[in-house]
Amino acid sequence: MVTLEIAERFAGIALSHVTREYPHKPGIVFAGPEDVRAPAALHPVFHGSFDWHSCVHGYWLLARLLRLYPASGRAPEIRALFDRSLVPERIAGECATLDAPAARGFERPYGWAWLLKLASELDGAETPRWGHALAPLAARIAERFADFLPIAPYPVRVGTHFNTAFALRLAADFADDALLAQIRETALAWYGADADCPAWGEPSGDDFLSPALIEAECLRRLLPPDAFVEWFGRFLPRLAGGEPATLFTPARVTDRSDGKIAHLDGLNLSRAWCLRCLAEALPEGDPRRVPMQEAARNHLDAAMPHLEGGYMGSHWLASFALLALDA
């Protein structure tokens, strides 16, 4: 549950970094020396939080918390930030960077998915002009998804930014009927026949997603409940007995100053999110529910004390903690 205390803590974390320009990890391809500009010139809105995608989901976190607690002590700061940043002229600058020929694959698919998740959260926000300002950028990203999926015959099953199940899962929350149908068709082509997933390779050393659990959460979001339960039983048939054990054991994080190793705190949070959503989708009394819920709590307990354990984690982990707590 997202309490007011948690909401104000998370908002404080995000507000401390979404406008922090440096350190910055560029994700853009420079076609020539004229393209080399400061982060805020390339990305008039999303130049903070170390990298573009983390800044985008920092804005999502703030938008979500504003919806949950519009009278919180941090709400005036969030509104002031959105009033300054989510304006047509700044979004036009974001679109101009995205429109460069060398930017065709910029932030595909992770940043794309988070941008659409932000747009979905701003749809129906207390101040419609924020979502209206973002709309041209969201439309470009949605079009890129629609163009990309037909030419992508294979999924990407890694536990990092390139995971396609995570991207489909988030994009589904924004998609109109046509894009949602395309996402569902693609997900079934990629994952529909999967069965008896061993998950023996999890976690890898820099995972922040569980390839197995995010695939299942993607299908949970896209399939009718009965069809999902049937698929899930084939995909992970031994969950009631705590197997595969790799999915029930929180990852150990040895050095939170190392950006890649710090990903493992995010893995614990994203697993908690998936486990909570998946357990809730099962029928009451299903023997898988209790061990999955317990595993979700254990993963949350392992990660929650470390959301501010250095900038390599603090610039992004709270967003995944919010996904888990708000599941």
- C-alpha span between 29 and 32 (Å, rounded): 9
260-286 tens-digit pLDDT: 999 999 999 999 999 999 999 999 999
| pLDDT higher than threshold 90 for residue 163 | yes
Q: Is pTM beyond 0.85 here? A: yes
195-254 tens-digit pLDDT: 999 999 999 999 999 999 999 999 999 999 999 999 999 999 999 999 999 999 999 999
What is the SS3 assignment for 122? helix
- C-alpha span between 167 and 231 (Å, rounded): 20
At residue 291 the predicted structure's pLDDT band, cuts being 50, 70 and 90, is very high
| pLDDT higher than threshold 90 for residue 290 | yes
Residue 207 buriedness (CB in 10 A; 0-12 / 13-18 / 19+): buried
Mean pLDDT to the nearest integer, 49-56: 98
Would you state the pLDDT for residue 4?
A: 98
At residue 309 the predicted structure's pLDDT band, cuts being 50, 70 and 90, is confident
2-15 tens-digit pLDDT: 999 999 999 999 99
* Helical pair 52-68 and 4-15, crossing angle rounded to 10 deg: 150
Q: What is the DSSP string of 169-203?
A: HHHTTT--HHHHHHHHHHHHHHHTT------TTPP
Mean pLDDT to the nearest integer, 304-325: 97
Mean pLDDT estimate for the chain:
97
Q: Measuring CA to CA, how many Å separate 269 from each of 89, 207, 304?
A: 35, 11, 8
Contact 159, 260 (CB under 8 A): no
- Three-state secondary structure string covering 155-170: CCCCCCCCCHHHHHHH
Would you state the pLDDT for residue 80?
A: 98
127-159 tens-digit pLDDT: 999 999 999 999 999 999 999 999 999 999 999
Would you state the pLDDT for residue 237?
A: 98
- C-alpha span between 204 and 123 (Å, rounded): 36
